[in-house]
Amino acid sequence: MRTNLSVEEALALVLAEARGELGVEEVPLREAYGRVLAEDLASRVDHPDQDDTAVDGYACREEDTWGASGDNPVRLRVIGESPAGRPFAGRVGKGEAVAVYTGAPIPPGANAVVRVEDTRREGEDVLLFAPASPKDIRPKGDDLKRGEVYLRRGDLLTPGRLGLAAAMGYPRLKVFRRPRVGILSTGDEVVEPGEPLPFGGVYNSNAYSLLGLVLEAGGEPVLLGKVADRPEEVLARLEAAGPLDLLLTSGGVSMGEYDVVRKVLEERGEVVFWKVKQQPGGPLLLARLGGLPVLGLPGNPVSSMVTFFLYGRPFLFRLLGRTDPPYRPLKARALTPFKGAKGKKVFRRGVLSFEEELVVRTTGNQSSGVLRSMAFGNALVVLPPDRDAREGEVVEVIPLTFVL
């Protein structure tokens, strides 16, 4: 077992556990949001499938309209119309125009469009107060070219990409199975919300903040409830968990006499590492139980969330083969001081906003028992070991809102 690792060493070991491939399933588009694509998608169509108009107006021959202006309008004869989806059957000849509406094909013979606001209809004729231009014609394949790959295996299906898959003509998509992530809370004092809270008790918040984080990362949470600090109980519940791709435990990995998760994993599994030089989340543990990777998260509500975010989330991204990075660090100016720690990389909770530049303020009380910092903070402020940040200094921040 390795111990006292740097954050980078610990992350590398966690990612190394993300072996093997998740199965693939096919889902209809309406169920594909937030899933990860398991195939490359080449467009089945050109879009537009022929030259079409980007504006409402009149399609005609550009050369017939040269010099048209407010003082010197050009008169064309309107020979028909082409609403979107109903192409004009004929051909545009010299001195002629066809009324076209956004998305309608440009009729043969026409090579330019004049916008309706630059025209006036006079019976069978139209007066143009500006020359027609080819600029408002969208060429065939302007958006999508048939056969070209626009979405790839590993791409997260965001709203825009779902639309893109539909535009390319796919009704169903192959996506990776969601990794099943077990969530087990430990602690004699931990009580499910809704039950009466005994003296010294604490409601099981970790299970639900982790549930949210697992869903957000594309996993399928499997709530395994809570067990008391007794090795037999922990073991029995783990053995009954069913097939999982990752197991999260919370609590029981510190130095104390009752920290049974660590003991159970040492005896029954194989501990890869225990303790990372970071705050919060220092007692983090990585183990294997049979073939199952186990992240032993510390019980403090902030610690369990931050360690899942820093290690569990990248693990799931790796397992899913996601092409987007699990987080994207930014630089922001600290508008409040942030306290570092000796020999540890520190992740403070802050509120990031843009006020002429990116700025970040502390959420207040930074104790790892204060869950409100994770509920109302939107960024982690990263401090290297032995470094405080003074007010006005530029610091590294990792946004907790997950924007592509």
Relative to beta strand 330-334, strand 358-362 is parallel
Residues 225-254 that bind ligand AMP (CB under 6 A): 250-252, 254
Report how far residue 404's alpha carbon sits from residue 149's, in angstroms, rounded to the nearest whole number. 20
What is the nearest approach in angstroms of ligand AMP to the Cβ of residue 251? 3
The DSSP call for residue 294 is E
Q: According to CB under 6 A, which one of 131, 218, 282, 301 is a site residue for ligand AMP?
A: 301
Residues 176-195 that bind Mg ion (CB under 5 A): 187
Residues 297-326 that bind Mg ion (CB under 5 A): 299
Closest CA to 297 of 210, 211, 402: 210
250 interface partner picked from Mg ion, ligand AMP, none, CB below 5 to 8 A per type:
ligand AMP
As given in the structure block, the two tokens for residue 188 are: 């004699």
CA dist 307 → 207, 311, 345 (Å): 14, 6, 12
Closest CA to 316 of 398, 174, 221: 221
The burial class, CB within 10 Å (0-12 / 13-18 / 19+), for 132 is: buried
What is the nearest approach in angstroms of ligand AMP to the Cβ of residue 282? 10
Burial 84-108 (b: 16+ CB within 10 A, else e): eeebbeeebeeebbbbbbeebbbbe
**Interface pattern 155-194 for ligand AMP (x via CB under 6 A):** ------------------------------x-x-xx----
CA dist 332 → 173, 335, 339, 344, 382 (Å): 39, 9, 16, 21, 11
Q: Is 377 in the site for ligand AMP (CB under 6 A)?
A: no
What is the nearest approach in angstroms of ligand AMP to the Cβ of residue 185? 4
Q: According to CB under 5 A, which one of 251, 280, 298, 399 is a site residue for Mg ion?
A: 251
| Comparison of 208 and 327: residue with beta carbon closer to ligand AMP | 208
| Comparison of 301 and 399: residue with beta carbon closer to ligand AMP | 301
What is the nearest approach in angstroms of Mg ion to the Cβ of residue 260? 8
Q: Is 399 in the site for ligand AMP (CB under 6 A)?
A: no
What is the nearest approach in angstroms of Mg ion to the Cβ of residue 251? 4
The burial class, CB within 10 Å (0-12 / 13-18 / 19+), for 30 is: exposed
Q: According to CB under 6 A, which one of 105, 182, 299, 377 is a site residue for ligand AMP?
A: 299
Contact residues for Mg ion, defined by CB under 5 A: 187, 251-252, 299
